[in-house]
A and B are shown apart, each in its own frame.
Chain A
Amino acid sequence: MALKAELINEKTSWQDLTEGLQIHEPATSKLFETGEWRTSTPVWEKEKCKQCLLCVPYCPDTCILVTEGKRDDFDYAHCKGCGICVKACPFGAITMKEGE
Chain B
Amino acid sequence: MAIKERMSGNEAVAHAIKQINPDVMPAFPITPSTEIPQFVSTMIANGEIDTEFIPVESEHSSMSAAIGASAAGARTLTATSSCGLALMWEVLYVAASNRLPIMMEVVNRALSGPININAEHSDSMGARDSGWIQIYAENNQEVYDNTLQAYRIAEHRSVKLPVMICQDGFITSHAVENITLLEDEPVKKFVGSYEPEHYLLKEDEAMAVGPYAISGYCMEAKRAQAQAMINAKEVILQVAKEFEELSGRSYGFFEEYCLEDAEYAIVAIGSVCGTIKETIDKLRAKGCRVGLLKVRVFRPFPGEEMAAALKNCKAIAIMDRCEGYNATGGPLGAELTAALYRTKATAETVNIIYGLSGRDVKVSDVEEVYEKLERLAQGDNCFGEYPYIGLRSNN
- Direct chain A–B contact by Cβ atoms under 8 Å: yes
Which positions in A face B, CB cutoff 8 Å? 10, 12-15, 17, 19-27
* Known pairs A22-B98, A22-B198, A24-B198; A17 contacts B217 (CB<8 A): yes
Which positions in B face A, CB cutoff 8 Å? 97-100, 160, 198, 205-209, 211, 213-214, 216-217, 219-221, 223-225, 227
Q: Contact: B220 with A13, CB < 8 Å? A: yes
Residues of B within 8 A of A23 (CB): 207-208, 211
Question: Closest approach, in angstroms, between the C-beta of A3 and any C-beta of chain B?
Answer: 12
The answer for the CA separation of A12 and B224 in the assembled complex, in Å, is: 12
Question: Closest approach, in angstroms, between the C-beta of B226 and any C-beta of chain A?
Answer: 9
The answer for the CA separation of A14 and B228 in the assembled complex, in Å, is: 12
Q: Contact: A17 with B221, CB < 8 Å? A: yes
Q: Contact: B206 with A10, CB < 8 Å? A: no
Give the nearest-CB partner of A10 in chain B. Answer: B216
Question: Closest approach, in angstroms, between the C-beta of A27 and any C-beta of chain B?
Answer: 8
Q: Contact: A17 with B224, CB < 8 Å? A: yes
The answer for the CA separation of A24 and B197 in the assembled complex, in Å, is: 10
The answer for the CA separation of A21 and B213 in the assembled complex, in Å, is: 9
Give the nearest-CB partner of A2 in chain B. Answer: B224
Q: What is the predominant secondary structure among interface residues of chain A facing chain B?
A: loop
Q: Contact: B217 with A10, CB < 8 Å? A: yes
Give the nearest-CB partner of A27 in chain B. Answer: B206
The answer for the CA separation of A78 and B209 in the assembled complex, in Å, is: 24
Q: Contact: B97 with A14, CB < 8 Å? A: no
Q: Contact: A20 with B97, CB < 8 Å? A: yes
The answer for the CA separation of A23 and B209 in the assembled complex, in Å, is: 7
Residues of A within 8 A of B198 (CB): 22, 24
Residues of A within 8 A of B209 (CB): 20, 22
Residues of A within 8 A of B223 (CB): 14
Q: Contact: A22 with B221, CB < 8 Å? A: no
Give the nearest-CB partner of B97 in chain A. Answer: A20
The answer for the CA separation of A15 and B99 in the assembled complex, in Å, is: 15
Q: Contact: A20 with B220, CB < 8 Å? A: no
